[in-house]
Structure 1
Amino acid sequence: MNQRFYGHGKLLITGEYLVLDGALALAIPTQKGQSLVVEKSEKSGISWLSLKSDGANWFSTHLSYNDLKKELPKQPKDPKDRLIQLINAAQQLNPYFLEQEDPLKVTTTLEFESNWGLGSSSTLIYNLAKWADVDAYALLEITFGGSGYDIACASNHTPILYQLKNQKPRILQTQFDPVFKNQLYFVHLNKKQNSRDAIANYREQPTEHIQNAIEKVSGISETLLTCEDIMSFKALLDAHERIVASILNRSTIKQELFSDYSGSIKSLGGWGGDFIMVTAANTNDLDYFTNKGYTTIIPFAEMIY
C-alpha cells in the first residue's frame, strides 16, 4: 500500500536568529508545502525522485541498501550523500526503519519554487520523520540543526508562537489575520539564503546584548497579533529590524536595498535572501519592486495557510 506524507512550508515573521536563544517567535505555515509518497517497486533498493512545482525533475538517484552503509563525510555536499545522511539519521533513531530492505520508489513533490526558502529541507525532514516513525525535531537536531520552528510549521495548520524552553519546543497555535492584511505582501529577493551559513554568522556576533534583544523581540511577537492599525504594525516591524540589525552588526535590508521605499520592510528568516514582508498602501506601491527586478510578489492571503 502506498504511503503519503505532507508538510507545510514556513515563514518566520518575528524572532529570526534570536529564536535559537529562547525568543518568542511568530511563525506561519504556508499554503504550499511538500509531499512524500512511498510505493512498492520492482527494482531493488530505493528509487528516489524529487519533483519541482512544475513537475520537472529536480533531483533523482537510486540507492542500494549497501549505499546506506557507506562512510560519509561529516558534512556531505553531494545531494545523494546528504540524502543518505538523512536516511541514516532516521535509522539511528529507529533501527527498524527500512530493516526489510524492500524495493521502493519514493517521490517528493514541491509545491513552491525550490529557491524560495520556504522549507524544501524542513518539509523533507518532517516527511521523512513521519515515514520512519521518529521524532522530527530529533531528526533535525542530528542532521541540519536549527531552532525547529520550521518543523512546527510543517505539522501545523495555523500560525504559531514558537519558543525554545530548555532546548525543547513550546508551540502555541494562534491567529494572525490583521484587518489590514490587504496591505501586506511577500517579495522574493531573487536569491536563496543558506540557513546554516546565516546561523553560523549570527553565532559569531558578540552576545552581550542578546538577552535584552530577546525580551524586546518576544514582546513584539505578541503585540503584532493584536495590532489593529497599519501604522502601529509598521512601527513594530521597523523596531524589530533595528534590534536584529544591531545584533548582527549590519544594516537593515531596507537600508541596503530599498532605502527610498515609502513603506516598511521586514526581513524573514536569514537576512539577505528568500522573502521579505513589505507594507504597501496600494498595488501601485509594488511597482517600486518590479521596477527593480523583484517580480515575485505574493499577497498575504495567498501565502499564509
Structure 2
Amino acid sequence: MAVSENMIRTYKASGKLMLFGEYLVLNGSDCLAFPLKFGQTLSVTKSDEIIWESHSKHGIWFSASLSDDFTILDTNNEEVAAILRQLFLVIRSEKPDLDFNQKFKIEANFELNWGLGSSSTLISLLGQWSGVETKKLLEASFGGSGYDVACATANAPILYANGKIKKEVHLPESITDKLLFIYLGNKQNSREEIKRFKKKEVAQHQIETMNAMISNALQTDKIEVFEQQLNLSEELISSIIGTIQLKERFFADYPYSIKSLGAWGGDFFMATYRDLKTAKNYFEENGYNILFTYQEFIK
C-alpha cells in the first residue's frame, strides 16, 4: 500500500494462471500457479458517500453508488453490484468501525475477457484495504480453492494446497525460455465449471498422481521431462472431467506440448517450443494473435 499527500491509498494485486493441479486442487491436491505481470490496482479516496468505479483499458465498465447500509442506489450492472454489496457486508461484520464513505476506483491493465483474475484480484484488493481475511471474502462471493487470491500478492510461482501457499518456486531458464502463453478466445465461467467438477468422482490415487507430476516438473531442468509431466497431466484431467484434450481438438499437428490452463475451456493455454519465431508463426497462422513469452507474462 502507498499513501500520497492527498490521501489516495493504493493497493495492487496480480492476475493468475494455474499450470498443474486444475480442478484436483479442490480435492486437496497440490497446484502449481503463476502470478502475472498483469493485474488490477485499487485507489481509495475519502468521499461523502460510497462510490465504486471499475475501469478496463477501454473505460468504465462497472459503476455503483451505495447507501450507508449498502443499499444499491445506482449501478450499471445489478449482478456485479449485488456481489460488491455482499462483500461490503462481510467486511462490515468483521470491521464494524471501518469508514466506507470512500471512492473506490479499480483499474485493470489487461483485457477482462482474458480470464486472468478480475474476481480474485478484487478479493485481494478489498482484503488489503479492509484488513479482512480474503478467505472470508472469497467464501461469501466467488468460492474456489483460493489459489488465485494467493497469487494476487505472490512474487513468484507458488506451490499451493489446502488454502495456503506451501512455498514459492523458481523454474529454470531452460524451461521458462521454452514456454509460450496463447489466448484461445473464450472466457470461461470458472464457477460453473467448478460446480460441474464437484459432481465427478475423484480417487485418492489421482490426487497423488497429480502431486507426483508437479514434483517431477519442479525437479527437472530438461524441457523434455517437463513436457512429459504436462502431457500426463492433460491425460489425467481429461479422463476425470470427460473433456477431449486441447491439443487433440485444435492443434494435433503441433510438434510439442499443449497445456490447458485453469478451467479447461477458453482463456489462455500454454505451448512449449524450441524456436520462438516458428511457434509464434504456427499459432498466428491458425488465428491466435495474442501471445506472450514467460518473461513477458509471468512475475
1:146 is matched with 144
How much has 1:291 moved relative to structure 2? 2.0
How much has 1:55 moved relative to structure 2? 5.5
How far apart in 1 are the matches of 2:214 and 2:94?
34
How far apart in 2 are the matches of 1:9 and 1:252?
25
How do residues 56-75 of structure 1 correspond to structure 2 at under 5 angstroms?
Answer: 56-66=59-69, 68-69=70-71
Runs of 4+ in structure 1 over 3 Å off: none
1:73 is matched with none
TM-score, reference length from structure 2: 0.91
How far apart in 2 are the matches of 1:92 and 1:178?
46
Query: What amino acid maps onto 2:16 in structure 1?
Result: K
Q: Is the 8 A contact 1:158 1:173 kept in 2?
A: yes
How far apart in 1 are the matches of 2:126 and 2:225?
41
1:245 is matched with 238
Query: What amino acid maps onto 1:51 in structure 2?
Result: H
SS of 2:20's partner is coil
How do residues 94-109 of structure 1 correspond to structure 2 at under 5 angstroms?
Answer: 94-98=95-99, 101-102=100-101, 104-109=102-107
2:250 is matched with 257
Unaligned 5+ segments in structure 2 are 1-6
How much has 1:285 moved relative to structure 2? 2.4
SS of 1:13's partner is strand
Query: What amino acid maps onto 1:12 in structure 2?
Result: M
Q: Is the 8 A contact 2:12 2:39 kept in 1?
A: yes
How far apart in 2 are the matches of 1:246 and 1:236?
15
How do residues 1-305 of structure 1 correspond to structure 2 at under 5 angstroms?
Answer: 1-41=7-47, 44-52=48-56, 54=57, 56-66=59-69, 68-69=70-71, 78-98=79-99, 101-102=100-101, 104-164=102-162, 168-207=163-202, 210-282=203-275, 283-305=277-299
SS of 1:115's partner is helix
SS of 1:269's partner is coil
Q: Is the 8 A contact 2:175 2:226 kept in 1?
A: no
How far apart in 1 are the matches of 2:166 and 2:98?
28
SS of 2:128's partner is helix
SS of 2:177's partner is helix
- When residues 12 and 65 of structure 1 are mapped into structure 2, their CA distance, relative to the original with a 3 A threshold, is same
Q: Is the 8 A contact 2:179 2:293 kept in 1?
A: yes
How far apart in 2 are the matches of 1:77 and 1:50?
14
Q: Deviations over 1:88-110 (max 9, x none)?
A: 22223322333xx53x2111011
How far apart in 2 are the matches of 1:89 and 1:239?
41
SS of 1:105's partner is strand
How far apart in 1 are the matches of 2:171 and 2:28?
21
How far apart in 1 are the matches of 2:129 and 2:207?
35
2:4 is matched with none
How far apart in 2 are the matches of 1:96 and 1:55?
36
How much has 1:170 moved relative to structure 2? 4.2
How much has 1:294 moved relative to structure 2? 1.4
TM-score, reference length from structure 1: 0.89
Cα RMSD after superposing both structures: 1.7
How far apart in 1 are the matches of 2:44 and 2:17?
27
Structure 1 vs Structure 2: percent identity of aligned residues? 38
Unaligned 5+ segments in structure 1 are 71-75
Q: Is the 8 A contact 2:214 2:229 kept in 1?
A: no
